[in-house]
Structure 1
Amino acid sequence: MNATIPVIADPAVTRRILNAFGLRARKRLGQNFLVDASVVRGIVDAAELTAGDTVLEIGPGIGTLTQGLAETGARVVAVEVDRKLPAVLAQTLRGYDNVTVVPGDILKIDIPETLKLENGERFKVVANLPYYITTPIIMTLLEQRLPIERLVTMVQKEVAMRMTARPGTKDYGALSVAVQYFTAPRMVTDVPPRAFRPAPEVTSAVVSCVVRETPGALPADEKLFFRLIRAAFGQRRKTLLNALTAAGLTKDAIRAALAAAEIGENARGEQLSLEAFARLSDAVGALHAQT
C-alpha cells in the first residue's frame, strides 16, 4: 500500500470521508460501507489479480475495495450508479492512475465497450453487490456470455449458500443450477455485519466463481433447459410430474419425458443434477420434435 494514501477500509477514515462529502448510506441503493481491511484483502486474493489483468468492479462506493484492487496493479474499471459518488472517488482514489470510474447502471451499459477490451481479452469481475439486486446482476453478466474469467462477489450469506448448493440440499434451487451451469463456484469466507458501516442485519459471504469454458451440462436446447428449471423450482414441494405443467406440458408428456430421462415420477427438482436436467430437457425436446 502506498504510504502516502490512507487505507479507506478503516472505520475512522471511512467516517472522515463520509463527513467531508456529507454522505450517508442510501438504503434504496443497498449501500453499506466496508470498513475491514482484512475482508478487502480476502476479496482481492480470491480474485487472483496480476498487473496485466483488467477487472470490472461494480458499485465502488467511496473506493474501499477499489483501492485494494488498484494496489495489485491491475487495470480497474469501476461502474457506479450513485451519481454523487464519482466526484468522491476522484478524490479518494486520486493516487491511482490505473483506475477509471464510469458513472452508470451495470444492467444497462455496454460492458465490452466500457472496458475497451482488446481482441480476445478476458476480464475479471469483483463486486460488493447490493443485496436487493444481486441475482439480476450475476445472471445478466453470465447470460451475456462475456469473456469473463472469474467473478468474485460479496453477497448475502443466504444467496452465497444457494449459489454453491449441491443437489438434494435445502438451498439447492434455480439459482444454484444457473450459476453452476456457467461457473464453478466456491464459498471463500463469511463476512460479519461488524465489517460494515452501517452494519447490515445479515451475514455476508464472498463467493468465487470461475467461468467454465463449456457449460456444466450440454442440453440441446438451452432455452428449454432453463424453462424446465424455472418450472421445477417454481413450487418446490411439488413433484416434477406436477411442477412441469407450469412449463406448458401435459402430464402424459411429462411421464414420457421422465421415463426417457430415467427420472422417477415422484422426483423433485431439488434432487436433480445439472446433467439430469439436461437429460430431461433433451427428452422433452425429442417429444416435441415427434409431434
Structure 2
Amino acid sequence: MDLCNSNDIKALLGRHGFRFSKSMGQNFLIQGWVPRDIADASGADQTCGALEIGPGIGPLTVQLAQRAGKVAAIELDRDLLPILGETLAPYDNVTVIPGDAMKLDLAALAAEQFPGLTPVACANLPYNITTPVITALIEAGCFASITVMIQREVAKRICADPGTSDYGAFSLFCQYYTTPEYLFEVPPECFLPAPKVTSAVIRLVPRTEPVQTLVDEKRFFRVVKASFAQRRKTLLNGLSAAFGDKLSKEQLRQAMAAAGLPEEVRGEKLGIPEFAALAHAIQALEG
C-alpha cells in the first residue's frame, strides 16, 4: 500500500468509513517526495526519538520510522486510530498516542518515550493550530530541532527579517529562541483534498546560547508586545500605551534615544539587539 497514492488512500479510508474533518484541517499527502524530504530535513537517525503531531494516515510517520530510533505520534482524531493501526503495523518502533498535543506536557512525553535518544520534532501541522503548536514545541525546551510543514505565509513570518511586511512579534519569538530556516515549498496539488494555500517546510534549531543578555526575557517580550500592539503607530506611541502608567512620553523618548533609535521609528524595524537595548534603557528609567 502506497500511503501517498490517491487510489490507495481512498480505498484505505473507504475500508474504515473515514470522512475528512474540516474543523481539524485534514489534508493528506499524495506525493511521496514530500514526506520523504521532510523526514530527511529533520535529520532524524537511529540516535533520535521523533515526535510527530497529527500523523493523519501515517506517510511521514513511516518515513520517520525508517530513520529514527523511535517515533511517537500524537493523533487527536480517534477515527484515524484504527487506520494508523493498519498502516503502521510493520513498524515496531512507533507508538501512537491518542490525545490533544496542546493539552500534553511535551517535554515529559519526550522524556518518557525517548530514553537515551535525542528528541526531535517533525510534523505536517494542521494550519489551524500552527502557532500554538510551534510555541509549545519551542517552550518544551527539549527538542534538538523542530521541522514542520505549515502554511507558507506563516513560514515566511517566522523567518522574516526586520523591516519586512511579514515581520512581527511571532517572528521575534521564534528567532529569539531558535534559528529558523526556510527549506522548501509544497504546492496545493500535493494534498487530498487540495488546500487553497501553498505550504512550506521550515526547520527551527534551538539556540544553545542566549541571544541577548541585557535584560530578562519577560522584560524583553513586554517591550516587543508593546511595539507590535499597534503596528500603524510609531514605536513611541506603542511604548506610551504600555508603559505610560510609570513613564512619561518624554522619558520613553529618552529611552529610545539611549538605545540609538530615532523618534519616528516603528517597532517592525527593530531586531533583537535593538529591542534588547531599548528594554535595557526602559529598565534603567523604571529603576
TM-score (norm 1): 0.93
Structure-2 residue corresponding to 1:3? none
Matched, 1:285 2:249: no
After superposition, give the CA deviation of every residue in 1:216-255 in whole Å (9 maximum; x if it has no partner).
3334221121121122112212110111223233422321
- Figure out how many residues of one structure are paired with residues of the other and give that number: 283
Structure-2 residue corresponding to 1:273? 271
Structure-1 residue corresponding to 2:162? 167
SS across alignment from 1:176:
helix
Cα distance in structure 2, aligned partners of 1:270 and 1:20: 51
Matched, 1:221 2:219: no
1:173–1:233 contact (8 Å) kept in structure 2: yes
Q: 1:112 to 1:177 in 2, by over 3 A?
A: closer
Aligned counterpart for 2:18 among listed residues 16, 19, 23: 23
When the two chains are superposed, the root-mean-square deviation of aligned CA atoms in Å is 1.6
Matched, 1:133 2:98: no
Any unmatched runs of 5+ in structure 1? Answer: 1-5
Structure-2 residue corresponding to 1:51? 46
Q: Please state how far the C-alpha of 1:118 moved relative to its aligned partner.
A: 6.5
Cα distance in structure 1, aligned partners of 2:80 and 2:262: 54
2:214–2:280 contact (8 Å) kept in structure 1: yes
- Paired letter, 1:77: A
After superposition, give the CA deviation of every residue in 1:238-276 in whole Å (9 maximum; x if it has no partner).
110111223233422321211121111111111111111
TM-score (norm 2): 0.94
Q: Please state how far the C-alpha of 1:90 moved relative to its aligned partner.
A: 1.0
1:221–1:285 contact (8 Å) kept in structure 2: no
Structure-2 residue corresponding to 1:193? 188
Alignment of 1:203-282 (within 5 A): 203-249=198-244, 250-282=248-280
Matched, 1:11 2:26: no
Matched, 1:83 2:81: no
1:168–1:272 contact (8 Å) kept in structure 2: yes
Cα distance in structure 1, aligned partners of 2:25 and 2:242: 34
SS across alignment from 1:148:
coil
After superposition, give the CA deviation of every residue in 1:92-121 in whole Å (9 maximum; x if it has no partner).
100000100001111111223323166785
After superposition, give the CA deviation of every residue in 1:57-77 in whole Å (9 maximum; x if it has no partner).
001111121111111143100
Cα distance in structure 1, aligned partners of 2:240 and 2:33: 49
After superposition, give the CA deviation of every residue in 1:112-159 in whole Å (9 maximum; x if it has no partner).
332316678541111111111111111122123x21110001110000
Q: 1:199 to 1:46 in 2, by over 3 A?
A: same
Seq. identity, %: 46
Worse-matched range after superposition: 172-181 or 81-90: 81-90
Cα distance in structure 1, aligned partners of 2:212 and 2:124: 29
1:8–1:14 contact (8 Å) kept in structure 2: yes
Aligned counterpart for 1:180 among listed residues 155, 163, 175: 175
After superposition, give the CA deviation of every residue in 1:30-85 in whole Å (9 maximum; x if it has no partner).
11111111111110111011112101000111112111111114310001111222
Alignment of 1:148-167 (within 5 A): 148-167=143-162
Q: Please state how far the C-alpha of 1:195 moved relative to its aligned partner.
A: 0.6
SS across alignment from 2:150:
strand
After superposition, give the CA deviation of every residue in 1:11-38 in whole Å (9 maximum; x if it has no partner).
1221121111111221111111111111
- Paired letter, 1:173: G
Cα distance in structure 1, aligned partners of 2:223 and 2:265: 14
- Paired letter, 2:70: R
Q: Where in structure 1 do 4 or more consecutive aligned residues deviate above 6 Å? A: none
Any unmatched runs of 5+ in structure 2? Answer: none
1:86–1:102 contact (8 Å) kept in structure 2: no
